[in-house]
Amino acid sequence: MSSIFMVLALLLSFESSSSSSVSVGSRSILRAVNNNNNNNGDQPDFAVDLNLTNFDAVLRDTPATHAIVEFFAHWCPACRNYKPHYEKVARLFNGADAVHPGIILMTRVDCALKINNKLCDRFSVSHYPMLFWGRPSKFVSGGWEPKQEKGEIRAIDDGRTADRLLNWINKQMGSSYGLDDERYENEHLQSNVSDPGQIVRAVYDVEEAMSTAFDIILEHKMIKSDTRASLIKFLQLSVAHHPSRRCRKGSAEILVNFDDLCPLDMWSANKEESVTGNGKGAMGNFQICGEEVPRGYWMFCRGSKNDTRGFSCGLWVLLHSLSVRIEDGESHFAFTAICDFIHNFFVCEECRQHFYEMCSSVSGPFNKTRDFVLWLWSAHNKVNERLMKEEASLGTGDPKFPKIIWPPKQLCPSCYLARSRKNNGSSWIDWDQDEVFKFLANYYGKMLVSLYKDKGLLGDGGTNRAVAEFLAVSTNAVMVPLGAALAIAVASCVFGALACFWRSQQKTRKPRRSWN
């Protein structure tokens, strides 16, 4: 038994150290970095400042497909003169208002700081500024030598002005980016609809939606005595089937601490005042999908206007991704967990009510994953059909992403048996539901997490289903279905032991802050 606790201690130590290394600077990925010395109202810096402590973590976790690292010295006059040129290019790719987000992460390392001496030596920095190009993963624990000709990290030899740097990038990528590109005038926006490969970008939006949803719950103080069980059920579902490993871990940690964070007697008169006062309470110390989320931007769900798509799109992707991951025996539990979560915690009143009406119209329990997946897909299309009419009459839709019946034929030709017009002019589609189910399972299943698998962030199959221990914890008011228990029984032993260890400590210590 002592050896088990030694393993657990090592695991906890590893998680703590990896969390702290990621948190330093990783929140600034693809968002503007404030310049602390900027007191004259100039534009903020868009390039992400890296150092030895966060270099590998930031580049490992970025959703961008390419990265540029500038090595400079803050005392160097040439570097100061070059900075405006570098920032002109960085604003296209970095920041919440980036024109072309998620493509290139532009960063910089100050070699004049002693902390970065080893890092600059790793890349054989011989002059300032010096720029390197490569896949982000290749920079992690990597380096560069002057004699290597065809390495996976390349020195940029012609980037002394913004124009020349962008021309160099365009040659490498076969692109046609320009310094005068305007926000939303980028070619990948419309491809979200027709290009199935774009769904891999949505895994970051699923994390963003999950984190945003819980921020809303805490900000609006929505955890009440009559909503507590609904939140527990959704956490149980997320621990077992959320596509993001980070969100599964965060959900599990909140669930393990739930009795301490939201005890059953907290709703007594003398305790409710402290819970509903200013601030988010003890639950606010937990970042459900990690310290760097929410990031403040959307990728797959990015609209062409600030007030379109975003959270609602990300939430739909999250619900669909949960639906295709459950087992047959969990289908009705997943249905009630999602319906109750939207009914109790979605703050758009009209949307919440419409969704609740669709849930209430279901006459019997779901016994198959297929049935629940197709019901949620049909419900989403009903919502889209209603919003299509409203947005067309009011002009409130996204001009680049009008609501459609989904999936479009170009994404899934085999899903369509026939299409015709009704007498009232509306479109009627005869679906091949077997093909629709196969498409949904692949689109929101394997394809969605393919980028995570490439980065090694998904975890193994056992961890995917988490542990029955997490579903049994803090569930006095909730019954766990047999299907869920059976599915989770195959989970990893180490993960289960870790859960038990955490749980056993709850009576002897205060809830700890997650993701330091």
Single-letter amino acid, residue 91 = R
Distance CA 98, CA 368 (A): 43
Give the count of alpha carbons within 13 A of 356, CB side only: 14
- What pLDDT is recorded for position 182? 66
pLDDT at position 247 is 92
Predicted confidence at residue 34, as pLDDT, reads 36
Residues contacting residue 382 through CB under 8 Å, at least 6 positions apart: 358
Backbone torsions φ then ψ of 288, nearest 5 degrees? -65, -30
Determine the pLDDT at residue 241: 94
Rounded to the nearest 10 degrees, the angle between the axes of helix 331-345 and helix 311-323 is 160
Tokens of 322: 């949960």
List, in sequence order, every beta strand (DSSP E) within 306-450.
Answer: 416-421, 427-431
Note the pLDDT of residue 95. 78
pLDDT of residue 213: 92
Cβ-in-10-Å burial (0-12, 13-18, 19+) of 246 comes to buried
Closest C-alpha to 48, from 66, 19, 25, 73: 25
pLDDT of 200? 61
SS3 sequence, 13-72? Answer: HHHHHHHHHHHHHHCCCCCCECCCCCCCCCCCECCEEECCCCHHHHHHHCCCCEEEEEEE
What's the pLDDT tens digit per position in 121-156?
999 888 889 999 999 989 987 888 877 666 788 999
Superfamily of 2-185 according to CATH: Glutaredoxin (3.40.30.10)
Domain range summary for the chain, segments of one domain joined by +:
2-185, 197-385+438-504
pLDDT per residue as tens digits for the range 254-284: 998 888 877 665 545 445 444 444 455 667 7
* One-letter amino acid for residue 435 of the chain: E
Handedness of CA 11, 13, 16, 17 (dihedral sign): negative
Q: Return contacts of 503-508, CB within 8 angstroms, 24+ apart.
A: 503/256, 503/469, 503/473, 506/256, 506/257, 506/259, 506/260
In a structure prediction context, what are the per-residue pLDDT tens digits for the chain, which is 516 residues long?
444 444 334 433 434 443 333 333 333 333 333 333 444 445 568 899 999 988 998 888 887 889 999 999 988 888 888 999 999 999 998 876 788 887 899 999 999 899 999 999 999 888 889 999 999 989 987 888 877 666 788 999 888 899 999 999 999 888 888 888 765 433 444 444 444 455 666 778 899 999 999 988 888 788 888 898 999 999 999 999 999 988 999 999 999 888 887 766 554 544 544 444 445 566 777 889 887 777 777 778 877 766 678 888 899 999 999 999 999 999 999 999 999 999 999 888 888 899 999 999 998 899 999 999 999 999 999 998 888 888 777 777 777 788 888 898 888 889 998 765 555 556 678 999 999 999 999 999 888 776 555 444 444 443 333 333 333 333 333 444 444 443 344 333 434 444 444 445 444 444 333 332
Q: Is 104 helix (H, G, I), strand (E, B) or coil?
A: strand
* Per-residue model confidence (pLDDT) at position 145: 80
By annotation, the residues acting in catalysis are: 76, 79
Give yes or no for a contact between 503 and 467, defined as CB atoms under 8 angstroms apart: no
Bridge pairing between strands 427-431 and 153-155 = unpaired
How, if at all, do strands 104-110 and 66-72 pair? parallel
Q: For residue 307, give the DSSP letter.
A: T
Q: What is the pLDDT of residue 219?
A: 80
CA distance 311 to 102: 18
